[in-house]
Amino acid sequence: MTQVLVDTSSLVALYNRHDMRHQPASDLLRSPESRAFRYIVPEVAPTEVMYLLRREAGITAEAQFIQWLVETGAVPHLS
């Protein structure tokens, strides 16, 4: 299984349709090949992403991100 490090900016772009990087993030992280990825997320990223999504895109985008964390089994990387 391929491990992929996903940072705050990539995750915010994925769930914020107004972000200029939304389409590239969506193309990569929602591609059929991405199902084989094991996502590694820096330990501070979930809190940062939830804050930024709530502020910039609303609670629905924040909830979709939380659902993604659960569904993908994204693993926090502790530094």
pLDDT at 67: 93
DSSP state of 35: G
Per-residue confidence band for 8, with pLDDT thresholds at 50, 70 and 90: very high
Helix axes 59-72, 45-56, angle to 10 degrees: 150
Show me where the domains of the chain are located. Answer: 2-77
Residue 76 has pLDDT above 80, yes or no: no
- State the pTM of this model: 0.88
Q: How far apart are CA 59 and CA 37, in angstroms?
A: 26
Angle between helix 59-72 and 8-15 (nearest 10):
120
Please state, in angstroms and rounded to a whole number, the distance separating the CA atoms of residues 53 and 59.
Answer: 7
Q: What is the structure's pLDDT at 79?
A: 61
